[in-house]
Amino acid sequence: MPEDNKLEEELIFSQKINTKRIIDDLIKNFSTKEKNVIKRRFGLDRVKRETLEQVGQAHGLTRERIRQIEKVLVGKINEAKELQVELKQLQETVFLILGEHGGVAEKQHLFGLLDKVSELGLKVNDEEKRSIIQENHFDFLLSRIFNDSLEEIKRSDKFKDSYKFKNDSLDHFEYLSQEFNEEIQKLNNIINISELVELILKLENYKKHEGKFRSSERVHSYNWLGDDLSEEERGIFKNYSALYSFLQIIRDLEKNKFGHWGHVSWNEISPKTVNDKIYLVLKNYGKPLHFTEIAKLINDTNFDHKKTNSATVHNELILDDKYVLIGRGMYGLKEWGFKQGTVTQVIKDILESSSEPLNKEDVVKKVLESRMVKESTINLALSNRKNFQKIGDKYAVTEK
């Protein structure tokens, strides 16, 4: 990063943004009941946001009365708010990120970047709970405090939940998304992010609105990502941050756990069954694996909160002919060229496809390309004269 960029970033992020301290300052003049209503409704000190009815029950009030109180309290905050140092710092950070992303950023991606330069200010031992409460803080501040300059995109049929500059149009995103979605459907196959960007650069609606997708020369948030993205993704983010944002907000586009992109409905993007997960793990690792290792990798990859066991994985591998047993508990994909059958059947297939008999070394080499077995097992199969005959120092299938 150039020296002036570093200096600007140091000035903006001279200290971590403490979101609890910001919120406590905004509501410091509220009564205990008013503070409780705001905190419960927006999940400011808890994981779950409570409904109007739940908060009403806690205070012996109707849901409509809680709605009125909430509206008044948010109004009071906005009337009395002064951009204290940390609140101003947060606002500048949000504006910086949105500016780098072409004026719009997918909510979870935006919150992930904000988390890099913020701290919760609450003692929460569980990391997942801490993360959710921190997101609740961001959501409250962006949607209720910065709502004069920011707009939340919610329940869109084209875009995921996102934040954008209030007065900016998303027409160029909408035009491009329609053309882009049509191209993705034609692919019907997963794709890496570099190929996605190459595809976009060729689209008519990108060429027409290219100026609006041009990335800033100074992309500060690139430096906050650490190991969150692969080197390939980091390069795209650095050089095409507005296009990266476009890929993030498209509702029907998703990235799987191994960094490949495609339509959210595809099994290789959103695996739904154990069988889907087995296939995705094998395809990603690109080599045969033992069924116990496959089960461990499924759980380690954390596709969802469901855990699987080795026995379930083994049953799926046995019952589906797209998987081939190539050794003791070792399975590969049929699409890799592996064939079903015993070592004897594999040797027969090799010899029958050859234009001439083969010596033992060639047979062993070819068998080991599709089976993980000991050489002695291949030798034993070749010694069975009912199946194979020896012609000189070479082998052929015994004629019936």
**Per-residue 3-state assignment (H helix, E strand, C coil) for the chain:** CCHHHHHHHHHHCCCCEEHHHHHHHHCCCCCHHHHHHHHHHHCCCCCCCCCHHHHHHHHCCCHHHHHHHHHHHHHHHHHHCCCCHHHHHHHHHHHHHHHHCCCEEEHHHHHHHHHHCEECCCCCCCHHHHHHHHHHHHHHHHHHHCCCCEEEECCCCCECCEEEECCCCCHHHHHHHHHHHHHHHHHCCCECHHHHHHHHHCCHHHHHCHHHHCCCCCCHHHHHCCCCCCHHHHHHHHHCHHHHHHHHHECCEEECCCCCEEECCCCCCCCCCHHHHHHHHHHHHCCCEEHHHHHHHHHHHCCCCCCCCHHHHHHHHHHCCCEEEEECCEEEEHHHCCCCCCHHHHHHHHHHHCCCCEEHHHHHHHHHCCCCCCHHHHHHHHCCCCCEEEECCEEEECCC
Q: How far is CA 247 from the centre of its chain?
A: 12
Question: Angle at Cα 226 formed by Cα 225 and Cα 231, nearest 5°?
Answer: 90
Residue 1: pLDDT band with limits 50, 70, 90? very low
CB 55 within 8 A of CB 40: yes
Bridge partners (DSSP) of residue 332 are 324
Question: Angle at Cα 281 formed by Cα 279 and Cα 284, nearest 5°?
Answer: 105
Tell me the CA distances in angstroms from 172 to 18, 102, 195, 196, one per residue in order.
Answer: 36, 11, 21, 18
Bridge partners (DSSP) of residue 152 are 163
Residue 10: pLDDT band with limits 50, 70, 90? low
Question: Smallest Cα–Cα separation from 19: which of 186, 164, 134, 177?
Answer: 134
CB 38 within 8 A of CB 27: yes
The average pLDDT across 238-243 equals: 88
Cα–Cα distance for residue pair 70/143, rounded to 1 Å: 14
Percent of the chain with pLDDT over 90: 66
Place of tokens 């409780």: 36
Residue 65 has pLDDT above 50, yes or no: yes
Cα–Cα distance for residue pair 303/275, rounded to 1 Å: 13
Output the six-digit token pair for 339: 């064939």
Place of tokens 């077995």: 373
Output the six-digit token pair for 29: 């003049």
CA neighbours closer than 13 Å in the CB half-sphere of residue 63? 5
The average pLDDT across 376-393 equals: 91
CB 338 within 8 A of CB 326: yes
Non-local CB neighbours of 170 within 8 Å, separated by 6+ positions: 103, 104, 153, 159, 164
Residue 81: pLDDT band with limits 50, 70, 90? low
Averaged confidence pLDDT in the chain: 89
Strands 394-397 and 104-106: unpaired
Cα–Cα distance for residue pair 202/18, rounded to 1 Å: 43
Residue 357 has pLDDT above 90, yes or no: yes
Cα–Cα distance for residue pair 376/282, rounded to 1 Å: 28
pLDDT tens for each residue of 322-343: 999 988 899 999 999 887 788 8
Residue 257 has pLDDT above 80, yes or no: yes
Computed from CA positions of residues 337, 341, 376, 392, in that sequence, does the dihedral angle turn out positive or negative? negative
- What's this model's pTM, rounded to 2 decimal places? 0.80
Output the six-digit token pair for 400: 């019936």
The average pLDDT across 93-101 equals: 91
Residue 7 has pLDDT above 50, yes or no: no
CA neighbours closer than 13 Å in the CB half-sphere of residue 273? 8
